[in-house]
Amino acid sequence: MKFSARNVLRGRISRIHHGEVNTEVVVRINGKTEIVSVITKASAEQLKLRKGRAVYAVIKASNVILAVD
């Protein structure tokens, strides 16, 4: 696999919740950090995602917005 995205993090699915349309997937990185992704239920089924499966979190963002009070 090759990606143009600069941030590719390997982890394991720690939790997965299938909704009617979307699926929320929690990926644990380095044993402590968690990243949450919301994808379509169809994509989750096609990828055969399940708790404990190794996955890559691919992060592609052209903007990072910061805010303060």
Q: What is the pLDDT of residues 8-18, one digit of tens each?
A: 899 999 999 99
Work out the percent of the chain whose per-residue pLDDT is above 90. Answer: 67
Q: What is the pTM of this model?
A: 0.83
> What are the beta bridge partners of residue 57?
9
Residue 6 has pLDDT above 90, yes or no: no
Residue 56 banded pLDDT, cuts 50, 70, 90: very high
**Could you state, in order of their start, the residue ranges of all structural domains in the chain?**
7-59
Residue 34 has pLDDT above 90, yes or no: yes
CATH class of domain segment(s) 7-59:
mainly beta
What are the E-state strand segments in 1-69? 7-18, 22-29, 33-40, 54-59
